Amino acid sequence: MRLYFSINKDLEILAIFFASFFIGFLVGGIPFGYLIPKIFKKIDIRNYGSRNIGFTNVFRTLGFLYGIPVLILDISKGFFITYFSKELSLLPLFCGIGAIFGHLFTPYLRFRGGKGVATTIGVLLALAPKNLLLSLIIFFIVLIIFSYMSLASISFALALPLSFLFLKPKDFLIFLFFIIISILIILKHLSNIKRLIKKEEPKFRLKIK
């Protein structure tokens, strides 16, 4: 009898883990960078610029008025599903993981998503705001000095696990999670790294169209 209840309890916990990740994945996968240009400008952003559905490509292609809403919505989807996960009896960390994976590999566009920085910012805002602040400081310093959004994003990714070491993480699972996310964000920027090495990467300039 005890074994029966133990198995049921384990299955229940496993189901909560899976449900948290899956719901986070579906929410995080909403491709705002694809939807906004498609709805308002009738274009497929994947045919322009870097062909990415993230904020930077939308901003470069269509300007401030279209790029900023993409940025805000990509941050918001990571934040809200993580912050309010407990209201749905879900686990914040696994909702956050799911949201970032959903953005990186959106199920709505054949698993070809963005590069994960904005959604990671939203998840961090809900889970670890102090770590977010440190990582964003590094991000803006690099962006201001070099004017490369991709280099700033890579620096942000590298700063994530370092910020946890600096602040002495209480939860090793969160630390491990952000090591994995950091690696994924960097891998998503491999094409940018190649262009940076060849000095072919475009610099980030504020502009309003």
pLDDT tens digits for 2-13? 544 455 666 788
Residue-wise pLDDT tens digits, 60-82: 999 989 999 999 999 999 999 99
- Which pLDDT belongs to residue 12? 82
Other residues' Cβ atoms within 10 Å of the Cβ of residue 71 = 19
Query: What gap in Å lies between CA 121 and CA 196, rounded to an integer?
Result: 24
Indicate the DSSP class of residue 64. Answer: H
Instruction: Name the pLDDT band for 54 (thresholds 50, 70, 90).
Output: very high
Instruction: Name the pLDDT band for 206 (thresholds 50, 70, 90).
Output: low
Query: What gap in Å lies between CA 187 and CA 56, rounded to an integer?
Result: 17
Query: What gap in Å lies between CA 85 and CA 28, rounded to an integer?
Result: 13
Residues belonging to the chain: 209
Which run of H or of E encompasses 149?
Answer: helix 149-166
Q: Model-level pTM? A: 0.91
Domain ranges in the chain are 2-197
What integer best gives the mean pLDDT of the chain? 91
